[in-house]
Structure 1
Amino acid sequence: MGPADVRAGWRAVLWGARGEGGIAVLLVQERFLTWSYGVWRVAAACDAEVVFLSGEGTVQQRVPLYGVEACVSHFAVLPGNRFLLVKGRSRQAKDGSWEPNAVVYAADGGRERSFCVGDDIPALVTDRHGGIWTAYGDEGVYGHHPESGGGLAGWNGKGAARWAPGGRLPTYPLEGLTGATEKQAVWLAWYSHEGTYLSRITPADGDVTTYPSPVRKLDGLAVRGNRAVLSRRDHGEATLTLTRAELAGGAWTVTGQERLRMPGQVWLGCGQGRDGVLWLRAGDSWVRFEV
């Protein structure tokens, strides 16, 4: 988002890391937003714009978007520059069905379909084949939605549940933290009463391996092979701690750590990882770190 966008009243609300490198950003006019807990949130149904940026920050495409619903909280890029908008909460109707809280958009901004991907979603990531991976909060885990109750879930691009942990996690999740992709694998970070964990899921066969995290309650994660970079923000500040770790002998070990000053305040949901690159949002700037 450039100075001209700001002067025209646009604000960067949500964003997603792209599999091809770079990011995509959802812009909404400020008059449709509310400022809450340090971030802009969509307060009313409105039109918007999605801007696709290269890894160097060059604008590659701008896509108009019509009828964005209030309370959307996640934006994720799908293959072919399609994308996904998700509301973190969903309500159950009297007949037992759940209201749709996810909308898939075509590359030109047209709606393709809508469906429900569970209730109380603090973390969401998409894989290179268009799969959707979610980690839930305590209200989802202890609520009535069947997939949310497992703590983690995987969905296909049509909204059908395709993966559940099925008792294969070392403990019961209480809150999702962040997610990342690594080639064909997906990583979901979450915590429980016993600590913080990193789960590596292979979508092709559903295999999952979970490790204790070397960082408590992290905000960002990127993985490449046996190396990872993890971030933990300082609440409401323009600083964070960046940790590098290596996987050996079935455990992650810290190999380096530094405290960094960022170009703006670092808020909740600041980090996303794609194939060994961690993108962090600080104010209206995005910084990338290679594993």
Structure 2
Amino acid sequence: MQKTALVPYAHLPRAHHHRHVLTSTVDVFGTAHWLLAERAPQRGVELLPFDALIVSVDPDGNVELTELSAVRARWPHFDRLPDGGFVVATSRTRRHEDANQVQIFDALGRETSSFSVGDAIEHLLVDESGQIWVGHFDENPAGIRRWSATGQLTWTSDGAPIPGLFDCYALNVSGTTAWACPYTDFPLVEIRPDRTDRPVRVWANRVRGAKAVAVHGERVAFYGGYGKERDRLAHGDITERSVEPTDVGLLTLPDGHALGRRRVVGRGSRIYVQTEPFTAWGVFDLSS
């Protein structure tokens, strides 16, 4: 089976390796970000709120630091806003915390607002216009929704012609467009909320269980799967009504070794992958 190696992309500067990586992401403009705390959370020990440091490394290797005060997110997701601020959200909520689930910080790290987007966040990705896309896992039937940075719901998958949307397995946000591959039917879905004609397009797809998707023109790649297919990289062509498989291989670390525990981010033609100890990002680019 053909193997495709990730290309090294961004590294957390060694000066910050003593801190605990709470989570990390790559934004819509290609800058990698790490959300760091002084120490790892301990089960049964309540440390909220806490101060955090965001280390950002842009595609040219420039480093920027942003200190956040009074972060309240357990099991956080985060991304950068186009104005230089950040959105930080906790993936699971308790009822009395709903209003504080999502925190918006300005470019100086000061909290400016908070709101709720609903429990069970699987993905949180900001687009070029500053809209916040949230994909939920199966403990919340909300599916996929888009929010403004002020907490206004600007698009919802409710009523959209997306078959079997019970869990947003894969979400890719690039420009102002989102692509998804949701459980249970795993169709390829394109979402353009601002398009008056067919804002949602759906293609039947035979690849099951992908955790990330990349799209370039009429080509698509699905990464991940169940069991022994967790490192699968499946390619296909987008036709009028379906995705037609072309070839299947494996995605590996840059040195050719198998991937272990990982987090993934889909952005347009790219799938970014990060493995333990979560200090470096690699990239697969469908357009290259």
TM-score normalised by L of structure 1? 0.81
SS at match of 1:249: coil
CA distance in 2, matches of 1:240, 1:172: 24
1:4 aligns with 2:15: yes
Q: What's the C-alpha RMSD, in Å, of the aligned pairs?
A: 2.6
Residue matched to 2:68: 65
Change (3 A) 1:127 1:214: farther
8 Å CA contact retained: 2:73, 2:101? no
Residue matched to 1:256: 247
8 Å CA contact retained: 2:28, 2:175? no
SS at match of 1:67: strand
8 Å CA contact retained: 1:186, 1:203? no
Higher relative contact order (CA 8 A, sep 6+): 2
Residue matched to 2:261: 267
Residue matched to 1:33: 41
1:202-281 to 2 correspondences below 5 Å: 202-205=192-195, 207-232=199-224, 240-262=231-253, 265-267=259-261, 270-281=263-274
1:178-193 to 2 correspondences below 5 Å: 178-192=170-184
Which residue of 73, 76, 79 maps to 2:79? 76
CA distance in 1, matches of 2:67, 2:225: 32
1:132-147 to 2 correspondences below 5 Å: 132-141=132-141
Counting aligned pairs with the same residue, the percent is 22
CA distance in 1, matches of 2:112, 2:174: 27
Q: For residue 23 of structure 1, what is the amino acid of its counterpart? A: A
Deviations 1:178-199 (A, max 9, x none): 211233311123102xx21232
Which residue of 55, 59, 63 maps to 1:55? 59
Residue matched to 1:174: 166
1:96-115 to 2 correspondences below 5 Å: 98-115=98-115
CA distance in 1, matches of 2:146, 2:75: 20
Deviation at 1:252, TM superposition (A): 1.3
TM-score normalised by L of structure 2? 0.81
8 Å CA contact retained: 2:162, 2:189? no
Task: Give the unaligned 5+ runs of structure 1.
Answer: 36-41, 142-147
TM superposition outliers: structure 1 runs of 4+ over 6 Å: none
Q: For residue 109 of structure 1, what is the amino acid of its counterpart? A: G
Deviations 1:29-60 (A, max 9, x none): 22x4248xxxxxx964321111111235x242
SS at match of 1:288: strand
Q: For residue 173 of structure 1, what is the amino acid of its counterpart? A: L
Change (3 A) 1:171 1:260: closer
CA distance in 1, matches of 2:47, 2:216: 38
Change (3 A) 1:22 1:213: farther
Deviations 1:238-265 (A, max 9, x none): x712222221222112223221332685
